[in-house]
Structure 1
Amino acid sequence: MTTAREWEFAGTRGAVTARIWSDGDPRYVAVLAHGYGEHLGRYDHVADALVRHGATVCGPDHMGHGRSAGERVLVEDFEDVVADLHTVVESARGDHPGLPVVLIGHSMGGLIAARYAQVHGDALTALVLSGPVLGRWFVTEELLPLDEMPDEPIDTATLSRDPAVGKAYTEDPLVWHGPFKKPTVRALDACIRRINEHGSLGALPVLHVHGDDDRLVPLDGTLIGIEAIRGADLTQRIYPGARHEVFNETNRDEVLAEVTAFVDRVLG
């Protein structure tokens, strides 16, 4: 397993911790954007597969997440998170000038990645969206009218059919297990709407992977958002029976092989 190296930079709202996985002479840069409440340390196996495929891999713990500074899971404007992600991308491009950049976002990270592609698409060669929060999300619709956020931990069985994934998630001290923050819910809703309104990603090659038994980010709501951003080169893979974290699913090797095959096709 490739070992990650950590570095820190001054983000828009405080210090951001980022990770880099690298081994040898890469042929592309893969940038990871993690989901809500988690951190990039949960993606070691994804990074390892990408490094073996020829990537140098990097990404931040978003503000208020993991090892980065800030009140836990508080995001008041996702444009700030996009700006922090851009710092990581630009650093990687500076270290590896001329290499293509592939951005991979999961769940809330898919929202961030899609918005990044709308704002900084010229920096990217391809985009991968895993169970992305796009289009319509029942969570924001249910929480927005409430004055107080319910403190109901997620059912970890919704993450993956592999029970070890839920156990590790529950025991991970860097994962947030408390309630949503109301400003974050407002910011999520605003970003979903902003992406829908901004529209197509044009010629940027996009791969969308999703489990058809995703109860955290249901496929039907996401498809509305995919239609809003779809351009000339969209590939979709929907996995029967798979739950929310397809990179942690029982068929994770199949999913990761789909990602690397997509990258090979794009890099051509």
Structure 2
Amino acid sequence: MTTGHSEVTKTSFQVSAEGGITLHARKWEPKQLEEDQKFLVVTHGACEHGGRYNDLLERAARQGWTAIAIDLRGHGQSTGNYVHVERFADYSQDLLSVLNYVEAPPESTVLIGCSMGGLVSIRTLQNHWKEHNCNPCKGLVLLSPLLGIKHPIEMWKKIVARGLSVTFPRTRFRSTIDLSLLSHDQELIESKRNDPRIRGAVTARWFWETRRAIEDAFRDVNCIQVPTLLLQSGADFVVDPLASKVWSNLINNCQTSEDSHQVHFRMLENWYHEILNEPQGPVVADAILKFGSNILDSNISDHSLSELPAAHQVAS
């Protein structure tokens, strides 16, 4: 790991968002800020929070980034009904509220979206492009983004959830995801089990708004207009790896896409869903940060994919 900055500072802040929501965010940055400040903004997955990305934030700060991770509404230390939205676009507004608060210039900003946070980042860029014909960032990194659901959901739950999303939208359904299938690091899995800010249920409205957002992400593929690195775990029991590959191919085959706007896709065979929390996660983190730096430096030809491990071998 490149450690250009030995001393970093960690702070937290709150941002007012639509609907009377107060968002919590944490920030890591070098004590000596460079003249050309660069921003890395991380959006977490469903039921978790930005505090689970502190290792990445610290690593980024030591490499010169101002690194920020937010808690979306209803997650972590932010206010709101937990894991519930009236519209999926509310999450995008949360992300934009934080970007505006820290005054992150688009030309100096890279977004990282993990799982549901990947879908949030995608929809944020797509809507922003449609509405303003410009981007809120210069580069995008997606880690096992929620572009298709792999975890089996009984048909009766889907039918019931659809009706309840209108009549009783805050009706909750408990997650049945096996936490041990999120990472091969069992110590990390135990820490997640014992994290009081990890939620274990979603609402009917959240479920259907998320399904619509996935459909919209495929419909608006031509609105992704920044260089994108998509890393997908091959042994993913949460999201559908094939969906990420199809989405990437749609963008790369889109006539309006230029070479610098294509998605650079890598399937990490045998990896579980939480890529950064796998044993070789730090290697991936450094590759991501190098990708981001190359994007900001307009060095589009070097995407650091050669530094990524091809697969994670499970210990017997």
State the SS of the aligned residue for 1:207. strand
Shift of 1:164: 1.1
Shift of 1:3: 5.0
Percent of aligned pairs with the same residue? 26
8 A Cα contact 1:196 1:229, kept in partner: no
Instruction: Identify the residue that residue 281 of structure 2 maps to in structure 1.
Output: 252
Correspondences of 1:150-169 after superposition (within 5 Å): 150-169=173-192
Residues 114-140 of structure 1 show CA distances to partners (whole Å, capped at 9, x for unaligned) of 111112352211000000001x32459
- Tell me which of 40, 45, 51 is aligned to 1:30: 40
Shift of 1:265: 2.3
Aligned: 1:126 with 2:145: no
Counterpart residue identity of residue 159, structure 1: L
Distance 1:54 1:99, change over 3 A: farther
Between the aligned partners of 1:115 and 1:218, the Cα distance in structure 2 is 18
Larger mean Cα displacement after TM superposition, 3-12 or 33-42: 3-12
Instruction: Identify the residue that residue 305 of structure 2 maps to in structure 1.
Output: none
Compare CA radii of gyration and give the structure with the larger one.
2
Between the aligned partners of 1:187 and 1:70, the Cα distance in structure 2 is 16
8 A Cα contact 1:20 1:59, kept in partner: yes
Distance 1:196 1:164, change over 3 A: same
- Aligned-residue CA RMSD in angstroms? 2.2
Unaligned runs of 5+ in 1: none
Instruction: Identify the residue that residue 26 of structure 2 maps to in structure 1.
Output: 19
Shift of 1:229: 4.2
Instruction: Identify the residue that residue 71 of structure 1 maps to in structure 2.
Output: 81
- Tell me which of 177, 193, 196 is aligned to 1:173: 196
Residues 36-75 of structure 1 show CA distances to partners (whole Å, capped at 9, x for unaligned) of 0000000000101111221101132001000011111112
Residues 14-36 of structure 1 show CA distances to partners (whole Å, capped at 9, x for unaligned) of 11112211112144100110000
Q: Count matched residues.
A: 264
Aligned: 1:4 with 2:10: yes
Task: Give me the TM-score of the superposition, normalised by structure 2.
Answer: 0.77
8 A Cα contact 1:101 1:125, kept in partner: yes
Unaligned runs of 5+ in 2: 1-6, 129-133, 162-170, 298-316
Distance 1:140 1:81, change over 3 A: farther
Distance 1:3 1:160, change over 3 A: farther
State the SS of the aligned residue for 2:83. coil
Aligned: 1:41 with 2:64: no
